[in-house]
Amino acid sequence: MAAVTRGLGATAALSSANSKKFQFTTRRSLSGRKGSFFAVESNGNPRSSLNRHNNRTRQLVTNAVATKPDSAAASTVSKPGHELLLFEALREGLEEEMDRDPHVCVMGEDVGHYGGSYKVTKGFADKYGDLRVLDTPIAENSFTGMAIGAAMTGLRPVVEGMNMGFLLLAFNQISNNCGMLHYTSGGQFKIPVVIRGPGGVGRQLGAEHSQRLESYFQSIPGIQMVACSTPYNAKGLMKAAIRSDNPVILFEHVLLYNLKERIPDEEYVLNLEEAEMVRPGEHVTILTYSRMRYHVMQAAKTLVNKGYDPEVIDIRSLKPFDLYTIGNSVKKTHRVIIVEECMRTGGIGASLTASINENFHDYLDAPIVCLSSQDVPTPYAASLEEWTVVQPAQIVAAVEQLCQ
């Protein structure tokens, strides 16, 4: 399917015949590159078999909250798989891990009898019992601390924050105990805890319930952060996070819970530190994660129609960054746009900009453009809230400006 899209883009490009759009610099020239760019990728492989990371994510889901099944052809190549929503994918991943390892337990507010405020743990209390799916009182600091203490002895708790913003109350435990205990004990204790919960700007939830905590947690040494965006990677990342011996914070997004996708029947675990190539391209690298992936893909549709060829990468791993994938992309396209929902000041985009500048400065033709949310508390009014986050139109404008 991507091959078809590529072909279209190339045709459009040829017909517009604007040589400026295709900046083939001789500096660090890509090997095997010829004038015809239809089917030959930069590393010499045919376009259709490019995606070495995973073959699943080729459908372009453009709507952020997709409610109808995706019309793209089934992305699985082996078995038909089964369709489910993102929260069901999380549930499936969690259930498989709890079946596999009796040390995995869940703690959080309303995870047990209520089934989870976003139904991720529905049915678990009946299946696993009240001690293993623990309904906690509203005491984030303490139950996160309890999870960390339990992890020190060998349990693998999964802590659910009902909303990521509530985890600010547990910041001391996450920063000082979760992140640092492995180091300050000289390696004696490991903290295999998973902290997960929905964050991000929802539908008029108000300022305190629309927070993006990635930026606050990213400097804590010792933890890992991942953000899921599709049912496929949600299940894979959940399983990987539980199996990891490091403390992992899994960021979900409130508006993505009802995304539907077909995922494989067989068991799979994704790599926590790997980024996902959503749409390979040639002109500009767009780095994004979580919900902004869908805004970017929507913008990509417009861009492709206008003749651009953006490469879209869902970085997925927020700490550490997958500089290998990102670097290869930068070396290919020489232009980077970061589209994120995090705050402008000190956000993931800011760190990523610094990281790419430090490591790949020579490969960049233009300064990195970072599109992030405005540095304001999220307002309640729908029109204002819409403009707090990056919209597809802004992405299109930024790409056009960058690729001049």
Residues near another protein (CB under 8 A) are: 105, 131-132, 134, 136-137, 139, 141-155, 172-173, 176-177, 181-190, 192, 221-222, 224, 244-246, 273, 320
Smallest distance, Å, CB 359 to another protein? 9
Dihedral over alpha carbons 54, 57, 59, 64 (to 10 degrees):
-170
Q: Closest CB to another protein among 254 and 356? A: 356
CA 83 to chain centre: 20
Positions annotated as catalytic residues are 140, 209
Q: Closest CB to another protein among 177 and 378? A: 177
Q: Closest CB to another protein among 136 and 215? A: 136
CA 289 to chain centre: 4
Nearest to 303 by CA among 315, 330, 285, 328: 285
- CA distances (Å), origin 134, targets 107, 174, 196, 242, 258: 5, 19, 15, 17, 25
Interatomic CA distance for residues 403 and 285, integer angstroms? 11
Phi then psi for residue 107, to 5 deg, are -135, 140
Task: Please check whether residue 86 is in contact with residue 93, taking contact to mean a CB–CB distance below 8 angstroms.
Answer: no
Smallest distance, Å, CB 335 to another protein? 24
Any residues with CB less than 8 A from the CB of 284 and at least 6 apart, and which?
308, 310, 311, 333, 335, 336, 337, 399, 402, 403
Q: Closest CB to another protein among 89 and 152? A: 152
Smallest distance, Å, CB 127 to another protein? 16
- CA distances (Å), origin 61, targets 91, 124, 252, 292, 301: 22, 30, 17, 12, 10
Smallest distance, Å, CB 325 to another protein? 13
Task: Please check whether residue 191 is in contact with residue 146, taking contact to mean a CB–CB distance below 8 angstroms.
Answer: no
Q: Closest CB to another protein among 76 and 176? A: 176
Smallest distance, Å, CB 175 to another protein? 9
Interatomic CA distance for residues 203 and 166, integer angstroms? 18
